[in-house]
Amino acid sequence: MRHRRSTTALALGIALSLPAHADEGMWMPSQLPQLGKTLREAGFKGDPKTLADVTAAPLSAVVRAGGGTGAFVSQDGLILTNHHVAYGVIQYNSKPGHNLIDDGFIAADRAGELPANPDFRVLVTVGYDKVTDTVLKETTGKTGRAYFDAVDRASKAIVAECEAKGGVRCSVANMYYGTDFYRITQLELRDIRLAYAPPRAIGNYGDEIDNFMWPRHTGDFTLLRAYVGKDGKPAAYSADNVPYRAPAHLALAKDGPRAGDYAMLAGYPGITYRHRTAAEFEEQIAWTLPTRVAVFDQLIGVVEAAGAKDADAKTRYAAQLQSLKNQRKRAAGELEGLRRSDAVRVRAEDERGMLATNAAAKERADIDALAASIAGGSAMRERDLLLNLFGAQSQLMRTAITLERLRLESAKPDAERENGFQARDHAMIEGVLKQVQRRYSPEVEKALLTILLTRYQQLPDAQRLPAFDTAFGRTPATLRQALDTLYAGTKLGDEAERLSRFAAAREGKPLAADPLIDLAATLVPVQLALENERKTREGEQLRLRPAYMRTLFAWRQQQGRALYPDANGTLRVSFGKVDGFSPRDGVQYTPVTTAAGIVEKNTGTAPFDAPKPLLDAIAKRDFAGTEDPVLQTQTVNFLTNLDTTGGNSGSPVLNARGELIGLNFDSNWESVSASWMFDPRYKRAVHVDMRYLRWLMGKVYPAPHLLKEMGAP
Amino acid sequence: MRHRRSTTALALGIALSLPAHADEGMWMPSQLPQLGKTLREAGFKGDPKTLADVTAAPLSAVVRAGGGTGAFVSQDGLILTNHHVAYGVIQYNSKPGHNLIDDGFIAADRAGELPANPDFRVLVTVGYDKVTDTVLKETTGKTGRAYFDAVDRASKAIVAECEAKGGVRCSVANMYYGTDFYRITQLELRDIRLAYAPPRAIGNYGDEIDNFMWPRHTGDFTLLRAYVGKDGKPAAYSADNVPYRAPAHLALAKDGPRAGDYAMLAGYPGITYRHRTAAEFEEQIAWTLPTRVAVFDQLIGVVEAAGAKDADAKTRYAAQLQSLKNQRKRAAGELEGLRRSDAVRVRAEDERGMLATNAAAKERADIDALAASIAGGSAMRERDLLLNLFGAQSQLMRTAITLERLRLESAKPDAERENGFQARDHAMIEGVLKQVQRRYSPEVEKALLTILLTRYQQLPDAQRLPAFDTAFGRTPATLRQALDTLYAGTKLGDEAERLSRFAAAREGKPLAADPLIDLAATLVPVQLALENERKTREGEQLRLRPAYMRTLFAWRQQQGRALYPDANGTLRVSFGKVDGFSPRDGVQYTPVTTAAGIVEKNTGTAPFDAPKPLLDAIAKRDFAGTEDPVLQTQTVNFLTNLDTTGGNSGSPVLNARGELIGLNFDSNWESVSASWMFDPRYKRAVHVDMRYLRWLMGKVYPAPHLLKEMGAP
């Protein structure tokens, strides 16, 4: 595969023309009309202009669902997303003797649909507007923390104004690293219910062994439904709610994908780093990724050991373990891929070329200052990684820190509070606090914290913090003693104890005493101090990176290439084709897998324990209507060269006519490094073939009412 | 891939017509003219009749070399074979500071060529004649041991008569399990020298990790040269010997293989079991293979542990370890493949169909008796496996048993001696005895025997033997004590001690006392008793299997398929094409690999430590003359669907014009089970592309004189 080059001149910023890498690009919808010629050459049959409007079909059907993406597939709010995106919803509804993870679930009718965990959200993007001038208005002459605060204040004001009309959540998205800002307006649907899930051994067939792998044979899909109040407005769960009337929904294609077919997807890719500096590439490859792999290995070991001894702990930590394994595998794959693509050298040469050719003196000064700021952040990297995981991988410790922080923030006027602690965030915080005890076991939490704090204890003095030393001491014995005392005494494992303190914290009132709360009172000030350092650095980089980006725009323009903003959780569109690849010399991966592969992999033991109804149906070859006419068998998954990253899970994959042919759920191992570097030889996305969904829902675990609602051909 | 069917009627025995499986078949040369139409349809451009004569080109160029195959590639006796076939030769010439395994070897001229280990032989087939009537003449009315002895006596008489003229070794080959017998006459070349070997990291690139694997990137070739006395007759090594004038030699093709090209190979496949009974298939899959894997794992563990502690032991056992690993991997692969091909069921159904349709009453009675005889042999299978390994995996123990057995046999008239102990075998025995101390360490031998004898001690009483119990006791402590005493006292580690006893044994004279010799005196009578049981059973099966084979012939005839004899170490020809395959759903293996794969696999650590000269040459892309015109790079290995098994290592692979395009060196993992069942979906053979050889010898480790001698294009 070779890059296609174009010599068409490009304008600066988003007024871009033909991309040189037709397959690379997570385009903002507003960029697509300018890419019209490329889109048509790639095979798109629709009008590129229709892809620019996030409030009209097809993009208005594409929603943010949980941590991923989903799409409306009926006018009554039915949402197609991944099994792994909805995993928490399925787990939340599982009880001993009623294991929806293992057994799957089919709601017999709408009354039978099961409410999701309270913090599960679906967001419908209804506005995507450029607000750069407003955001940067007060930054003139500022640097560091002041620059950060100016951007932050302006952003919050925009959000407050946007949300004032009610019923929507707003945010300001930073595009091109401070170069542009967009106001994203989203309807927040809070009553989400489970309509259909295949058994684990279909929805997660192959589990960690096949995760990130190709060839793949996973039915990684689930159907949810969004409900709203009788007034049609978003509302928390109520039995009286009614299905949400979707602004648009996608239609299932009759035919399936074939090699070379045009394909596109839309979704909410979380974060990419493709336009980071060469120094940041070097740090990622030489330090960050190897370290993450090592730490995750330890954390996974602890959770697995606990699960092996305690079935209850195993259930409670199932989602966290899956997430840890995913992150570990992703880090390892990213490292392997970046090395294979020789990313350090390639990015460094690219940057050298850019600087030699394009950097004006003023830009060059900013770029040098940016490099110095980045180096300053690296000096504390071990500590920052551990403290980040200290909150992210705990339940009660995080609860205590959240409550104490909420108490402090709530003493300020709402507009001055830290993001995530404003009045608008209270419902989300409450949702998180409510589910804690379903996902918590004191022994596992202590073991996880022991791993992190032991590593912390070994850091050089320059990176260590007095409050942590006071709390946990400097030796394994003091650490064990401290954790034992904290977890023996805390009452935060009790939902009522958490919620009563939440009620106080949101009012800025003192919190009832508790060992973890008392500890948080000493740690949160440290957190605030570190946050100030971070924001100062971020402010500097927010000020300085646009110089780097402008120089990069100019350099790409010389190369005849368009530029998209790095992913930031906003709605993006990618287009390309159905395409296999060669992972290594002598091996070619075909782009479509079939039911034969399910049988080949089946061992009868998890994760390759295909359910008997599935194996029987394959043996019967009862594929009429969904089998591939050429392969003459049931297809399962397929590959495209679409540009995706985490957050694109659940993205609908459309054909040239905009019909739904697939559901994105993974990347191949060779492309995990695409979050930093897009290598067209290896970057592929893995999708569920919609014919497999139609077959499963038609013949294997039938839900004819849902298929009919989706207008299945 | 589908079987091609033909409805052409077949005659019985070797008078066969078109094979239905064009790709399956290790054909006797005499069968090929009758397969002419199929050969031509497959793409062969020559006259099929030329393939029937083993004394004319091209088959007279194909020799048995060591445990594999080789081919003359110049008129001056230059022989092309595998690095792994000549591994013992290379190892024999390696010394500390002069490591030909690691460094490779290029003889600057003929005087610089290095003599092989004394027991290395090259055999040139000069006769291949049917002698069925003579062999079976005295069997009428006999059964069991008497039947065996009648065949054995007649065979020995044929061999003795054949060898009487001198200069040749003769044997009688049993085709179709006692149905037909052929006299094989072979010139025995005893002065073989090493002319060229690539470094280990080319000749065995990937080692055990890649062994049996595809895609492959191994330069598994070596050049030897055969020498004879000045009178042109075979002779032991002498500095005065002259290069052997080859009866024919193969010419290197200019062009390389491409997918779909006709290909054929000739060689000495060792043994296959394709025409065994359904019960034998069942035992192989349910018991023999799993047990072999378990025992080999233990033996490998012992040798590796010793090598890790002792560099000298590591060198001494390098060849044995490689052989053990090969056998272990082969057993595991065979098991996996037979299960994948559902061989137990397929063979059972085939046999049921055969018996229902074809078995005449007389044949049926013999077939039932055959089944009973096979079941009788199975009853002692654990013991027989262990005693077999007891000799095969030891050096001094085997030496003692060999000497004692030789002493007993030598007391008989030569014609009545057991095969392998006749006067004609003395030189071979002496060669084996001479190399013992290069491949022996007392600690490793004791450890290996401890594994085997510990298993033996755990057998049920019915399988145990008083002499072994007396020698080694029944407990771990007695076993350890016995081995320590034996190996502390034996002098057989000394070459002079072995050879002086050899001189006595070959005369039937008493052997000088030695702990191991004294032990052998008690074990050999047991060996003889077991041998009598085995020969009785073999005699019965020799008598009874032809009924099974006749019924199978008739059944295959009904199916429109020709039948070749199972492999038995005689010269055979296979034809088919260059062909990739799909190992599993979603994956396609391309049939030709390239130098890019060497770089991809290279880690710098063995076995993926490609030498710097090779990596540099790849980086320079200096492939002029040997690169593939379509792939535009240097090719390395390729795949065909040719029918091969162990013993085919080193087989020359020819194109439609009979020119040398490849050197067979392995099978893919998926086809290891082909020794029992040929599954055309998976059976492939792995070859060195002759363009890789030409490039290595031309540019990387140059030997222009040898390339010129080979007439390289």
Give the model confidence (pLDDT) of A119-149 as tens digits: 899 999 999 999 999 999 999 999 999 999 9
- CB-CB contact of B227 with B191 (8 Å): yes
CA distance A687 to A264: 12
A180 — phi, psi (to 5°)? -135, 155
Q: How far is A217 from chain B (nearest CA, A)?
A: 9
Residues of A in contact with B590 (CB under 8 A): 586-588
Q: Residues B94, B341, B373, B649: which is the catalytic one?
A: B649
Chain B residues near any Cβ of chain A (below 8 Å) = 214-217, 584-590, 592-594, 596-597, 600
Average pLDDT over residues A631-639: 97
**A594/B590 Cβ within 8 A:** no
Determine the pLDDT at residue B166: 85
CA-nearest residue to A592 within chain B is B586
User: Considering Cα of B686, then B691, then B694, then B699, what sign does the dihedral take?
Assistant: negative
Which residues from A are below 8 Å from B when comparing CB atoms? 214-217, 584-590, 592-594, 596-597, 600
The pLDDT, as a whole number, for residue A713 is: 87
A393-426 pLDDT per residue, tens: 999 999 999 999 999 999 999 988 998 999 989 9
C-beta atoms of A215 and B597 within 8 A: no
B619 CA to chain A: closest CA distance, Å?
15
The predicted structure's pLDDT at residue B424:
86
Q: Which amino acid is at A440?
A: Y
Measured CA to CA in angstroms, residue A110 lies from A197, A229, A712 at distances of 14, 15, 19
Amino acid B359: pLDDT: 65
- Report the pLDDT value the prediction gives residue A419, as an integer from 0 to 100: 87
Residue A633 to residues A308, B1, B533, Cα–Cα distance (Å): 40, 16, 54
Give me the catalytic one of B6, B74, B84, B687.
B84
Buried/exposed A101-129: b ≥16 CB within 10 Å, e otherwise: bebbbbbeeeeebbbbbbbbbbbbbbebe
Task: Give residues with Cβ within 8 angstroms of B484, minimum separation 6.
Answer: B446
Residue of A nearest to B587 (CA): A589
Please say if the pLDDT value at position A14 is more than 70.
no
Q: In this predicted structure, which of A571-580, B417-426, B569-578 has the lowest mean pLDDT?
A: B417-426
* Host H or E run for residue A594: strand A592-594
Helices (H), A379-514: 381-392, 396-410, 426-435, 442-457, 466-472, 476-489, 495-505
Sheet holding A592-594, edge to edge: A572-577, A262-267, A652-654, A660-667, A685-689, A635-640, A592-594
Which backbone phi and psi does A330 adopt, to 5 degrees? -65, -40
Quick check: B16 pLDDT over 80? no
The one catalytic residue among B23, B210, B220, B579: B220
Model confidence at B208, pLDDT cuts 50, 70, 90, reads: confident
Residues shown for chain B: 713
pLDDT band at residue B186 under the 50/70/90 scheme: very high
- Beta bridge partners, A572, equal A267
Of A584, A585, A589, the CB nearest to B586: A589
What is the nearest CA distance from B599 to chain A, expressed in angstroms? Answer: 10
Is the predicted pLDDT of residue B1 greater than 60, yes or no?
Answer: no
For residue range A292-346, list pLDDT tens digits in order.
Answer: 999 999 999 999 999 889 888 998 999 899 899 989 988 998 999 999 899 999 9
**Dihedral of the CA atoms A125, A131, A136, A137 (nearest 10)?**
-140
| Residue A91: HSE in the Cβ half-sphere, 13 Å Cα cutoff | 19
- Looking at the predicted structure, is the pLDDT value of residue B4 above 60? no
Average pLDDT of A688-704? 97
For the stretch B122-166, pLDDT in tens is: 999 999 999 999 999 999 999 999 999 999 999 999 999 999 988
pLDDT at B11 over 60: no
pLDDT-derived band at A47, boundaries 50, 70, 90: very high
Q: Which residues of B362-372 are buried (b: 16+ CB within 10 A; e: fewer)?
A: ebeebbebbbe
- DSSP codes, A32-70: GGGGHHHHHHHT--S-GGGGS-TTSTTGGGEEEETTEEE
Nearest by CB to A600, which of B585, B592, B593? B585
Q: H or E stretch including A583?
A: strand A581-584
Question: Which residues of B fall within a CB distance of 8 Å from A585?
Answer: 215, 217, 593-594, 596-597, 600
Q: Give dist(CA B333, CA B292) in Å, integer.
A: 12
Bridge partners (DSSP) of residue B180 are B175
Size of interface A-B (CB pairs under 8 A): 52
**pLDDT score of B281:** 97
Higher pLDDT, A625 or A452: A452
Element at A180 (helix H, strand E): strand A180-189
| Contact state of B217 with A585 under an 8 Å Cβ cutoff | yes
pLDDT tens for each residue of B697-712:
999 999 999 999 999 9
- What distance in Å separates residue A203's CA from the closest CA in chain B? 19
- pLDDT of the residue at A597: 97
Query: Strands (DSSP E) along B149-221, which ranges?
Result: 168-175, 180-189, 191-197
Contact A584 B215 (CB under 8 A): yes
Distance CA B641, CA B632 (A): 24
Q: Which positions in chain B touch A584 (Cβ < 8 Å)? A: 215, 597, 600
Contact A585 B215 (CB under 8 A): yes
pLDDT band at residue A208, thresholds of 50, 70 and 90?
A: confident
DSSP string, A223-243: EEEEEE-TTSS--S--TT-EE
Q: Indicate the residue of A585, A589, A596 with minimum beta-carbon distance to B593.
A: A585
What is the pLDDT at residue B22?
52
Angle at A466 between CA A464 and CA A467, to 5 degrees: 115
Residues B283-288: what's their mean pLDDT? 97
Residue A694 has pLDDT above 90, yes or no: yes
Q: Do B220 and B666 touch, CB atoms closer than 8 A?
A: yes
Interface pTM (ipTM) of the complex? 0.81
Minimum-distance CB partner of B585 among A585, A586, A597: A597
Residues recorded for chain A:
713
Confidence class for position A471, pLDDT limits 50, 70, 90: very high
Q: HSE on the CB side for A477, CA within 13 Å?
A: 0
pLDDT band at residue B3 using 50, 70 and 90 as cut-offs: very low
Q: Mutate which of B217, B578, B585 to disrupt the A interface (most A C-beta within 10 Å)?
A: B585
Q: What string of DSSP letters covers B672-705? A: GGGGT---TTT--EEEEEHHHHHHIIIIIS--HH
Q: Are A671 and A683 in contact (CB under 8 A)?
A: yes
Q: Which residues of B touch A588 (CB under 8 A)?
A: 587-590
Exposure letters B21-55 (e unless 16+ CB within 10 A, then b): bbbbbbbbbbbbebbbebbeebbbeeebeebbbbe
Q: Are A215 and B587 inside 8 Å of each other by CB?
A: yes
With 50 as the cut, is the pLDDT of residue A618 above it?
yes
Instruction: Tell me the chain A residues in contact with residue B592 when contact means C-beta distances shorter than 8 Å.
Output: 586
- On average, the pLDDT of chain B sits at 93
CA nearest to A581 within chain B: B587
Closest of B153, B158, B224, B228 to residue B187, by C-alpha: B228
Residue of B nearest to A339 (CA): B600
Instruction: Give the C-alpha separation, A141 to B710, whole Å.
Output: 80
Q: Is B18 a residue whose pLDDT tops 60?
A: no
**B82 and B398 Cβ atoms separated by less than 8 Å:** no
Please give the residue of chain A at the shortest CA–CA distance from B584. Answer: A597
Percent of chain B with pLDDT over 70: 97
Inter-chain contact B590–A588, Cβ cutoff 8 Å?
yes
Residue B712 CA to residue B199 CA, distance in Å, equals: 21
**Cβ-nearest to A584 among B585, B592, B600:** B600
Is B17's pLDDT higher than 60? Answer: no
At CB < 8 A and 24+ separation, what contacts does B627-632 make?
Answer: B627/B691, B628/B256, B628/B592, B628/B594, B628/B691, B630/B258, B631/B592, B631/B594
Q: Which residues of chain B are within 8 Å of residue A590 when distances are taken between CB atoms? A: 586-588
Nearest to B584 among A585, A588, A600 (CB): A600
Judge whether B171 counts as a catalytic residue. no
Q: Are B582 and A596 a contacting pair, CB within 8 Å? A: no
Q: What is the distance between the alpha carbons of residues A250 and B504, in angstroms, rounded to a whole number? A: 92
Task: Answer whether residue B407 shows pLDDT above 90.
Answer: yes
DSSP state, residue A199: -
Q: Both tokens of residue A611?
A: 């359910």
Contacts of B585 in chain A (CB under 8 A): 215, 217, 593-594, 596-597, 600
Q: What are B63-106's pLDDT values in tens digits?
A: 999 999 999 999 999 999 999 999 999 999 998 889 999 999 99
Contacts of B217 in chain A (CB under 8 A): 585
Active site residues of A: 84, 220, 649
